[in-house]
């Protein structure tokens, strides 16, 4: 899934080139490229599909050279994850009704790749022989308020797999007090947004919990993989409900499991989450840019293009980012306001700045 706009990484992430197309980790590859390269180690490249907004078609070709047009599912508008997963299901169904699937965001950080791939293969083995909707739960390392949580049913682990449990509850992002309770209980895991299931299981769930959307796809199944597909999708999306797969399916279904793991994961959703993974100087500043002078400053994230020079004095715990003639200076502990800033800029200055 590569259709998000990454607005919390503004101004580096913009609507015309969001964070999945950026080398935000300084590794010489975009997050999309890292994700694709990771999965092609265990999945044939021709079986990897990318779902994204149609505006990003050319960017995908640039970042994944050699990918075929039929591997791209282009959306006319953003409608959250349930619709894009349904679209993928029916496209795959046309080619392989018995498929076993992994659904993953394109912009996550995975530090221990071998452990991650081992977990994915364990999940695929389980869903290939069980009617199950499986999600990956991350062992929390701290009381985090920025992630949703999954509560595992400790009494219902799958025989022979101590890290595989029935799901008890899903919980949205908690406040800090509740996050501490979750962390200390040992029963709660971060919701990674990575899913594994058989095509048969997930399509049956759409029949049960999103019958209207399911029927629309069924009625026009012949148009998929044909010259009529684009017209069908362009007509369907405006009428579809914008809802996440979590709300639409996972929180309602009875056959939901969680595979718990710890492979160095972050959803890189904010500047703060990125900060924890970047190298820091002696004053706990992370610095990206060749011409930055910091004085009496600590705990800051500074990202300035190499062709710009910045002199910064007296800041503690700030985000300072310049990109394409836009400068952001924001307290790190108030970065949740960045979405609000972006919205204000859009209203007062127009789309060219967002």
Flag whether pLDDT at 44 surpasses 80. Answer: yes
Same structural domain, 170 and 31: yes
Closest-CA residue to 330 (of 5, 8, 22): 8
Q: What is the pLDDT of residues 312-344, one digit of tens each?
A: 999 999 999 999 999 999 999 999 899 999 999
Flag whether pLDDT at 204 surpasses 80. Answer: yes
Mean confidence (pLDDT) of the chain:
94
Look-up: residue for tokens 């499986």? 134
Percentage of the chain lying above the pLDDT 90 cut: 85
- pLDDT level of residue 106 (50, 70, 90 thresholds): very high
Same structural domain, 264 and 155: yes
Same structural domain, 242 and 173: yes
Same structural domain, 23 and 68: yes
Same structural domain, 252 and 286: no
Beta bridge partners of 292: 310
Same structural domain, 324 and 279: yes
Residue 14 resides in a domain: yes
Write down which residue in 246, 269, 292 finishes a domain.
269
Same structural domain, 222 and 301: no
Flag whether pLDDT at 154 surpasses 80. Answer: no
- Rounded CA-CA distance 34/28 in Å is 10
**352: Cβ contacts below 8 Å, ≥ 6 apart:** none
Flag whether pLDDT at 156 surpasses 80. Answer: no
Flag whether pLDDT at 159 surpasses 80. Answer: no
Residue 2 resides in a domain: no
Write down which residue in 212, 243, 269 finishes a domain.
269
Please compute the mean of the pLDDT values over residues 5-19 and round it to a whole number: 90
- pLDDT level of residue 67 (50, 70, 90 thresholds): very high
Residue 77 resides in a domain: yes
Same structural domain, 260 and 316: no
Determine phi and psi for 224, rounding to 5 degrees: -70, 145
Residue-wise DSSP of 4-27: ---GGGTTTSBTTB-GGGS-TTSS
Same structural domain, 230 and 149: yes
Q: SS3 of 124, please?
A: helix
Indicate the number of domains in the chain.
2
Same structural domain, 216 and 251: yes
Residue 1 resides in a domain: no
Flag whether pLDDT at 155 surpasses 80. Answer: no
Same structural domain, 264 and 278: no
Please compute the mean of the pLDDT values over residues 236-243 and round it to a whole number: 96
CATH (domain of 75): 3.90.550.10
* pTM of structure: 0.91
**137: Cβ contacts below 8 Å, ≥ 6 apart:** 150, 152, 189, 190, 191, 192, 258, 259, 260, 261
Structural domain boundaries enclosing 278: 272-353
* pLDDT at residue 267, rounded to an integer: 87
């Amino acid at each position: 899934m590569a259709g998000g706009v990454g607005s919390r990484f503004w101004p580096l992430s913009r609507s015309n080139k969001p964070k999945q197309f950026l080398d935000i980790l300084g590794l010489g590859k975009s997050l999309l490229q890292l994700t694709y390269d990771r999965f092609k180690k265990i999945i044939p490249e021709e079986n990897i599909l990318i779902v994204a907004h149609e505006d990003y078609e050319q960017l995908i070709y640039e970042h994944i050279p050699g990918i075929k047009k039929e591997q791209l599912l282009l959306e006319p508008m953003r409608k959250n994850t349930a619709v894009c997963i349904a679209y993928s299901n029916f496209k795959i169904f046309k080619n392989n009704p018995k498929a076993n699937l992994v659904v993953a965001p394109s912009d996550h950080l995975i530090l221990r790749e071998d452990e991650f791939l081992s977990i994915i293969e364990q999940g695929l083995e389980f869903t290939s022989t069980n009617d199950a909707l499986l999600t990956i739960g991350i062992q929390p390392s701290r009381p985090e308020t920025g992630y949703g949580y999954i509560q595992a049913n400790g009494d219902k682990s799958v025989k022979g797999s101590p890290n595989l449990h029935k799901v008890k509850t899903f919980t949205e992002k908690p406040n800090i007090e509740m996050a501490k309770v979750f962390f200390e209980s040992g029963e709660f895991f971060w919701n990674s947004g990575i899913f594994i299931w058989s095509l048969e299981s997930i399509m049956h769930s759409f029949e049960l919990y999103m019958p209207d959307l399911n029927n629309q796809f069924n009625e026009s199944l012949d148009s998929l993989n044909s010259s009529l597909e684009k017209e069908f999708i362009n007509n369907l999306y405006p009428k579809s409900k914008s809802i996440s797969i979590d709300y639409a399916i996972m929180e309602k279904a009875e056959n939901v499991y969680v595979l718990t793991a710890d492979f160095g994961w972050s959803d890189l959703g904010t500047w703060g989450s990125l900060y924890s993974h970047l190298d820091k100087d002696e004053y706990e500043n992370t610095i990206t840019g060749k011409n930055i002078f910091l004085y009496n400053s600590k705990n800051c994230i500074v990202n300035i293009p190499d062709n710009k020079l910045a002199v910064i004095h007296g800041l503690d715990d700030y985000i300072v980012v310049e990109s394409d003639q836009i400068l952001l200076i924001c307290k790190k502990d108030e970065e949740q306001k960045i979405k609000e800033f972006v919205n204000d800029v859009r209203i007062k200055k127009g789309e060219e700045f967002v």
